[in-house]
């Protein structure tokens, strides 16, 4: 128990026996309740939450005094029941109590996991996930941004933490639904009300109401999940070492590999990570902090932009200016530094809606004096970041969304300016600020550059529900559902997306087509030549004479006429009715009566039009372009009567390239025969 003599002069509201001031808190909006209490009793107040004395700081000046003069004293963390279980005895970075273990964990985060170099190494995966996001939204009539942003942030964190093999294919995207649910439950539990945290010795109440059972179930599922992740990485590392392809620290592509390397070194030489549970604790915290902070910030910012069309238009103009040389592309990370208004918008969003409005609770590790008051050791301390960032004594029009307030003001949110503390300050500030903010900036820039956003029909901006759902992170209570209209050609967007996200797949397809079509054509041509000695003799004479005749080219065409590589091509489908005229038949066709799948084997070998259609022959001119004459040219792509690969916009590859391959190989085969 604490000695009340220490707190006798600190402003404090009247309290009830046993429960103290708990009755004054709205557990669904605790930061709002604390703002009201601070407005009434002052910027530094003492609350008795159950049997726990709690100091509440709601002023920039007091926060500055604490973080600059008494940072070490206030760097403790209370042992909370939920964090103790879900984070392996509070052995993560943010929840670890002050001491040697915490210092080692902080050092690992700063130098290994979240260094500037490491954050930059994830640039490609962030870009790819943004491209996927844009491609997904353009196909939606109404976009649920709350769900999309949570999924997007989770995919980025999955791939950064687990690697492409597990993050993209196994636990990111559709495969990450279960992980989504686990993390959501973990976040809810960590931010929930636990009786034992305020009434030590009364933990049995949490068991009776089922809260303890939820904690145990969530822990077992998360523990099983991360055991599987670690085992998969250990197997991959063993295979790499056996093949002699083991990677160094510089080449490690995901956070699990980094942590396992550090764990291996700690086992040999001693250290914080010698216990594998500490690795899992850091991973759990990374997923919760990385996913929730980013997704909540993006969603709240988009909400404010929808409610403030002037700001949205001004921001979109800045984005258009940044890409004026090529507006049909996405914003790149290298361009983010130039987007000053975007940064002002994000700062304003963080000011009004800090992701964790009460930060994480601190605890004094020794007695100290603040504002003339003696604060004893082991006092729980809450910094109300929401109150500090909307203090009317500091901010003009504090409740208005006005990004221009930061114009010409060098105010940052990384803990150096105490009027804006969305991520805390001092030793205990969030170590993942850079990782989270590059995700936020890149996503917002491209959401606003690629789309014009509007509210579904029948709604007005003032109808948007701004209620908050409280956990460790403050999310929007009701999902943000908007209509997204692309700013530029969907085709250009799609081509751009393909050029990055599917580049490996595209190259594989092209190589396969080139190899398959070339080899098949050569094989069939040689087969026909062997069966026609007259033709092969004439071809060899041409090759020996090294003339400029076109015999070889004609033979190649004739072989393709008889044996087209893909006789049925790929199926086409009309997208609207049209009438077309085939010049060789002189009768109109209505596309409504044409089967959806057209075949092209017969046009190459029409018995009516070709003399000896099944015989290998060659002539000086073969009609390559018997084109369908279209009344509506946008309905169907023209295609040739003589066609062995598709032409026009849907051709496989440029015919000239394959032709050169075939001619060179045929010449080599025949000239040396």
**CA pair distance 300, 298, nearest whole angstrom:** 6
Of residues 184 and 143, more confidence is placed in 143
pLDDT of residue 45: 97
- Strands 373-375 and 629-630 come out as unpaired
Strand-pairing partners, residue 52, are: 49
| Mean pLDDT of the 144-154 span | 94
**CA pair distance 232, 638, nearest whole angstrom:** 51
How many percent of the chain have pLDDT more than 70? 74
**CA pair distance 207, 166, nearest whole angstrom:** 36
**CA pair distance 654, 646, nearest whole angstrom:** 10
| Mean pLDDT of the 247-262 span | 81
| CA 464, chain centre distance (Å) | 25
Of residues 133 and 645, more confidence is placed in 133
Residues 17-31: pLDDT tens digits? 999 999 999 988 999
| Residue 497 dihedral angles phi and psi, to the nearest 5° | -60, -45
pLDDT of residue 588: 44
Residue found by looking up tokens 């959501």 in the block: 184
Domain assignments of the chain as residue spans, ordered by start? 4-499, 502-671
CATH for 4-499 (1.20.120.1200, 3.40.50.261, 3.40.50.300, 1.10.630.10):
1.10.630.10
Question: Are the C-beta atoms of 611 and 629 separated by less than 8 Å?
Answer: no
Question: Are the C-beta atoms of 39 and 215 separated by less than 8 Å?
Answer: no
**CA pair distance 108, 105, nearest whole angstrom:** 5
**CA pair distance 5, 496, nearest whole angstrom:** 68
Query: What is the dihedral sign for C-alpha 83, 89, 94, 95?
Result: positive
Q: How confident is the model at residue 54 (pLDDT cuts 50, 70, 90)?
A: very high
Residues 286-326: pLDDT tens digits? 998 889 999 999 999 999 999 999 999 999 999 999 887 67
Q: How confident is the model at residue 64 (pLDDT cuts 50, 70, 90)?
A: very high
Angle at 62 between CA 59 and CA 64, to 5 degrees: 105
| Mean pLDDT of the 71-91 span | 96
pLDDT of residue 130: 96
Helices (H), 308-432: 309-322, 340-352, 385-388
Which range among 67-71, 360-364, 616-620 shows the weakest confidence by mean pLDDT? 616-620
pLDDT of residue 600: 39
| Mean pLDDT of the 339-357 span | 97
**CA pair distance 511, 518, nearest whole angstrom:** 11
pLDDT of residue 528: 73
| Mean pLDDT of the 30-38 span | 96
Q: Which residues contact 563 (CB under 8 A, 6 or more apart)?
A: 520, 521, 524, 528
pLDDT of residue 432: 93
| Mean pLDDT of the 135-151 span | 94
Q: Which residues contact 578 (CB under 8 A, 6 or more apart)?
A: 591, 630, 631, 632, 635, 636
**CA pair distance 354, 348, nearest whole angstrom:** 10
pLDDT of residue 591: 42
| Helix (H/G/I), strand (E/B), else coil: 20 | strand
Question: Are the C-beta atoms of 616 and 559 separated by less than 8 Å?
Answer: yes
Task: Indicate whether 414 pLDDT > 50.
Answer: yes
Distances in Å between the Cα of 367 and the Cα atoms of 11, 52, 79, 374 are: 18, 16, 19, 7
- Phi-psi category of 626—alpha, beta or left, where left has phi over 0 and alpha has psi -120 to 50? beta
Residues 554-581: pLDDT tens digits? 666 777 777 776 677 777 777 777 766 5
Residue found by looking up tokens 């209509």 in the block: 483
Which range among 272-276, 354-358, 608-612 shows the weakest confidence by mean pLDDT? 608-612
Of residues 345 and 599, more confidence is placed in 345
Work out the mean pLDDT of the chain and round it to a whole number. Answer: 81
**CA pair distance 419, 396, nearest whole angstrom:** 12
| Mean pLDDT of the 352-367 span | 96
Question: How many C-beta atoms surround the C-beta of residue 573 within 10 A?
Answer: 8
Of residues 33 and 631, more confidence is placed in 33
Task: Indicate whether 584 pLDDT > 50.
Answer: no
Task: Indicate whether 241 pLDDT > 90.
Answer: no
pLDDT of residue 646: 39
Radius of gyration from C-alpha coordinates of the chain: 34
Distances in Å between the Cα of 202 and the Cα atoms of 61, 85, 206, 219, 478 are: 37, 17, 8, 21, 34
Question: How many C-beta atoms surround the C-beta of residue 494 within 10 A?
Answer: 14
Report for 234-243, 501-510, 543-552: range of highest mean pLDDT = 234-243
Query: What does the block give as tokens for 6?
Result: 């220490």
Residue found by looking up tokens 């026009």 in the block: 648
pLDDT of residue 619: 36
Question: How many C-beta atoms surround the C-beta of residue 576 within 10 A?
Answer: 10
Question: Are the C-beta atoms of 82 and 284 separated by less than 8 Å?
Answer: no
**CA pair distance 303, 549, nearest whole angstrom:** 70
**CA pair distance 234, 440, nearest whole angstrom:** 32
pLDDT of residue 183: 86
pLDDT of residue 595: 37
Closest CA to 350 of 429, 445, 419, 442: 419
Distances in Å between the Cα of 147 and the Cα atoms of 286, 412, 478 are: 19, 29, 11
Task: Indicate whether 632 pLDDT > 50.
Answer: no
Which range among 349-358, 396-405, 482-491, 532-541 shows the weakest confidence by mean pLDDT? 482-491
**CA pair distance 350, 346, nearest whole angstrom:** 6
Query: What does the block give as tokens for 255?
Result: 């956070």
| Residue 157 dihedral angles phi and psi, to the nearest 5° | -65, -40
| CA 170, chain centre distance (Å) | 15
Q: Which residues contact 657 (CB under 8 A, 6 or more apart)?
A: 514
| Mean pLDDT of the 484-493 span | 65
**CA pair distance 44, 12, nearest whole angstrom:** 9
Question: Are the C-beta atoms of 118 and 126 separated by less than 8 Å?
Answer: no
Of residues 169 and 397, more confidence is placed in 397
Task: Indicate whether 193 pLDDT > 80.
Answer: yes
Question: Are the C-beta atoms of 269 and 449 separated by less than 8 Å?
Answer: no
Q: How confident is the model at residue 652 (pLDDT cuts 50, 70, 90)?
A: very low
Question: Are the C-beta atoms of 380 and 77 separated by less than 8 Å?
Answer: no
CA atoms within 13 A on the CB side of 281: 27
Task: Indicate whether 536 pLDDT > 90.
Answer: no
Question: Are the C-beta atoms of 296 and 460 separated by less than 8 Å?
Answer: no
Binding site annotation covers 515? no
Query: What does the block give as tokens for 89?
Result: 């005895």
Q: How confident is the model at residue 593 (pLDDT cuts 50, 70, 90)?
A: very low
| CA 667, chain centre distance (Å) | 52
Q: How confident is the model at residue 605 (pLDDT cuts 50, 70, 90)?
A: very low
pLDDT of residue 89: 95
pLDDT of residue 585: 42
| Helix (H/G/I), strand (E/B), else coil: 163 | coil
Task: Indicate whether 5 pLDDT > 80.
Answer: no
Residues 422-472: pLDDT tens digits? 999 999 999 999 999 999 999 999 999 999 999 998 788 888 999 998 788
**CA pair distance 479, 503, nearest whole angstrom:** 34
| Mean pLDDT of the 348-369 span | 96
Question: Are the C-beta atoms of 581 and 640 separated by less than 8 Å?
Answer: no
- Whole-prediction pTM value? 0.73
pLDDT of residue 649: 40
CA atoms within 13 A on the CB side of 280: 21
């Amino acid at each position: 128990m604490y000695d009340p003599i220490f707190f006798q002069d600190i402003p404090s509201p009247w309290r009830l026996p046993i429960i103290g001031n708990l009755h004054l808190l709205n557990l669904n909006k605790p930061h709002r309740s604390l703002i009201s209490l601070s407005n009434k009793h002052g910027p530094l107040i003492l609350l008795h939450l159950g049997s726990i004395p709690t100091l509440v700081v709601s002023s920039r000046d007091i926060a500055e005094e604490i973080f600059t003069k008494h940072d070490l004293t206030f760097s403790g963390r209370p042992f909370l029941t939920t964090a103790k279980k879900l984070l392996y005895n509070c052995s993560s970075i943010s929840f670890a109590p002050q001491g040697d273990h915490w210092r080692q964990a902080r050092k690992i985060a700063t130098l290994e996991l979240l260094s500037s170099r490491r954050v930059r190494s994830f640039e490609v995966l962030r870009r790819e996930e943004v491209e996927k996001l844009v491609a997904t939204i353009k196909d939606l009539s109404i976009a649920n941004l709350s769900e999309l942003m949570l999924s997007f942030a989770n995919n980025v964190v999955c791939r950064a933490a687990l690697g492409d093999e597990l993050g993209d294919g196994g636990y990111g995207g559709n495969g990450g639904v279960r992980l989504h649910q686990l993390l959501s439950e973990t976040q809810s539990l960590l931010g929930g009300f636990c009786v034992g945290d305020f009434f030590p010795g009364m933990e049995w109440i949490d068991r009776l109401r089922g809260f303890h059972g939820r904690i145990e179930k969530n822990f077992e599922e998360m523990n099983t999940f991360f055991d599987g992740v670690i085992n998969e990485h250990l197997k991959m590392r063993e295979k790499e070492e056996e093949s002699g392809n083991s990677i160094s620290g510089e080449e490690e592509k995901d956070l699990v590999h980094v942590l396992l390397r550090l764990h291996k070194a700690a086992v040999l030489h001693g250290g914080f990570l010698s216990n594998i549970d500490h690795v899992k604790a850091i991973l759990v915290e990374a997923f919760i902090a990385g996913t929730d902070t980013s997704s909540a910030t993006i969603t709240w910012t988009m909400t404010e932009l929808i409610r403030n069309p002037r700001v949205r238009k001004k921001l979109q103009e800045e984005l258009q200016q940044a890409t004026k040389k090529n507006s049909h592309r996405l914003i790149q990370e290298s361009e983010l530094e130039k987007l000053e208004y975007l940064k002002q918008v994000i700062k304003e969003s963080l000011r009004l809606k800090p992701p964790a409005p009460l930060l994480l609770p601190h605890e004094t590790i020794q007695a100290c004096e603040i504002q003339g008051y003696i604060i004893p050791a082991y006092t729980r301390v809450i910094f109300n970041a929401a109150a500090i960032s909307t203090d009317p004594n500091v901010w003009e029009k504090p409740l208005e969304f006005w990004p221009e307030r930061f114009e010409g003001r060098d105010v940052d949110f990384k803990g150096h300016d105490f009027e804006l503390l969305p991520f805390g300050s001092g030793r205990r500030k969030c170590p993942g600020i850079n990782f989270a903010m590059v995700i936020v900036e890149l996503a917002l820039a491209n959401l606003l550059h690629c789309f014009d956003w509007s509210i579904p029909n029948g709604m007005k901006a003032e109808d948007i529900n701004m209620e908050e759902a409280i956990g460790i992170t403050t999310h929007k209570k009701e999902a943000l559902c908007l209509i997204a209209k692309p700013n530029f050609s969907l085709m250009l967007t799609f081509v751009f997306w393909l050029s990055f996200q599917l580049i490996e797949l595209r190259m594989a397809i092209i190589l396969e087509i080139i190899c398959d079509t070339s080899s098949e054509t050569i094989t069939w041509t040689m087969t026909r030549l062997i069966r026609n000695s007259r033709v092969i003799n004439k071809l060899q004479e041409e090759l020996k004479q090294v003339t400029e005749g076109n015999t070889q080219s004609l033979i190649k065409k004739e072989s393709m006429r008889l044996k087209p590589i893909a006789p049925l091509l790929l199926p086409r489908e009309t997208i609207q009715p049209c009438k077309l005229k085939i010049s060789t038949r002189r009768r109109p066709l209505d596309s409504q009566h044409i089967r959806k799948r057209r075949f092209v084997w017969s046009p190459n070998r029409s018995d009516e039009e070709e003399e000896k259609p099944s015989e290998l022959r060659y002539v000086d001119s073969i009609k390559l372009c018997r084109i369908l004459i279209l009344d509506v040219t946008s309905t169907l792509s023209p295609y040739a009567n003589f066609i062995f690969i598709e032409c026009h916009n849907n051709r496989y590859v440029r015919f000239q390239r394959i032709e050169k391959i075939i001619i060179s190989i045929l010449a080599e085969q025949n000239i040396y025969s």
